[in-house]
A = this chain, B = another copy of it.
Amino acid sequence: MRVHVAFTPDEAAEAPTGVVIDVIRATSTICQALASGYERVYCAAEVEEARALAGGLEGAVLGGERRAVKIPGFDLGNSPSEYVEPQGRAVVMSTTNGTRAIVTAAGRCERVLVASLLNLAAAVAAAAAHGEDVAVFCAGVQGAFTLDDAYVAGRVAELLDGASSDAAEAAIRLSRSFASAEEAFHLSHSGRNLHAAGLDADIAWCARESVLEVVPRFVGMHGTAAEISL
């Protein structure tokens, strides 16, 4: 099995199996929501798309943030801890970088799995079970590399233990250069933004490894939104 990593969605990478990471915080929140009992999560890039979609879905709650703060009129923000007690059957999330990464992976892979540290072991086992090459897509921020996603990509590549591309080798070496996930997350742009917003608890939450057994999968597009479920 060959393992490749795209540190940003624009980077060239394709494989039968895709794994998408936006660890702070979209894919952590997706994993938590589905593990908690929500039946599906819809990822929309724009706030108005999310509102319109939620308006047409029974039992949907609206979640998301801009600059780490809950969007006005939305039911929930983007902290995974807000998704432990289901308040409906589905979540419609507004996440720009996460949606872009999922849609990119869906265009290049036969199947797309959603990974965070929370479901690391389960996601790696599911990707390995397909027995085909794997491309790991980091969401990044606005087309740029982020340390937090790259760290998780390194953990995924290390556990997959396949033939690493240059990028997968780099991701493994990068993740090994940190003493812990929390160290990497705190140093990252996304982590510093959470810290500035008083959301250090979210960093600690997202830095826990392999505590959820779920493997969220991309089901298909629902208009312009990516539908995710188990």
Contact = CB atoms under 8 A, between A and B. Distances in A.
Given A8-B11, A8-B12, A147 B174 contact: no
A144 B189 contact: no
A71 interface: no
A166 B143 contact: no
A175 to B, nearest CB: 10
Contacts of A170: 145, 147, 150, 170, 174
Contacts of A188: 166
A142 interface: yes
A10 interface: yes
A177 B143 CA distance: 26
Interface residues of A, number: 28
B11 A145 contact: yes
A79 interface: no
Most chain-B Cβ atoms within 10 A of its Cβ — which of A8, A13, A142?
A: A8
A25 to B, nearest CB: 16
Copies of this protein chain in the complex: 2
B13 A10 contact: no
Interface in A1-43: 4-8, 10-13
Nearest to A5: B145
A99 interface: no
30 contacts: A5-B145, A6-B145, A7-B145, A7-B167, A8-B10, A8-B11, A8-B12, A10-B10, A10-B11, A11-B143, A12-B142, A13-B144, A144-B166, A145-B165, A145-B166, A145-B167, A145-B170, A146-B166, A147-B166, A147-B170, A150-B170, A166-B188, A166-B189, A170-B170, A170-B174, A173-B173, A173-B177, A174-B174, A174-B177, A177-B177
Given A7-B145, A145-B167, A147-B166, 16 more contacts: A7-B7, A8-B12, A10-B143, A11-B143, A11-B145, A12-B143, A144-B166, A144-B167, A146-B166, A147-B169, A147-B170, A169-B187, A170-B170, A173-B174, A174-B174, A176-B177
Interface of A: 4-8, 10-13, 142-147, 150, 165-167, 169-170, 173-174, 176-177, 187-189
